[in-house]
Amino acid sequence: MNLEELREYCLSLPHVTEDMPFDEDILVFRICNRIFVLTSLDSVPLRVSLKCDPERAIELREQYPDKIIAGYHLNKKHWNTVLLEGLPPTLIKEMIQHSYDQVLAKVPKKEREVLIS
């Protein structure tokens, strides 16, 4: 998956926005103003940081030790940094969707209800 495919997939999810809040190099995708994907535009190969259930995060790191590591400069219990090169697109999309779902689940109920209506 390349950067354009990443952007296309993330923006296809409901109510997602993108911005660059930290500097001109870091692109983030948000749901309800909460980040669920971070990537550096300068990273080669392309890597993203994704929120993840702690148990699933450990499983993924064990299954793909050369591709998935504890979140870089993030809470390592809840975030993974994923090197996209060589991973199946279906797995990448599943991890992005999982990150989206993890973040959306923490959005206050009133905000979620506004999204649904």
Fold of 3-116: Aspartate Aminotransferase, domain 1 (3.90.1150)
DSSP for the chain, please give it.
Answer: --HHHHHHHHHHSTTEEEE-SS-TTEEEEEETTEEEEEEETT-SS-EEEEE--HHHHHHHHHHSTTTEEEPTTS-TTTEEEEE-TTS-HHHHHHHHHHHHHHHHHTS-HHHHHHHH-
> Domain spans of the chain?
3-116
- What pLDDT score does 117 carry? 63
pLDDT in tens, the chain (117 residues): 999 999 999 999 999 999 999 989 999 999 999 999 999 999 999 999 999 999 999 999 999 999 999 988 888 999 999 999 999 999 999 999 999 999 999 998 888 777 766
Question: What is the structure's pLDDT at 50?
Answer: 98
pTM: 0.93
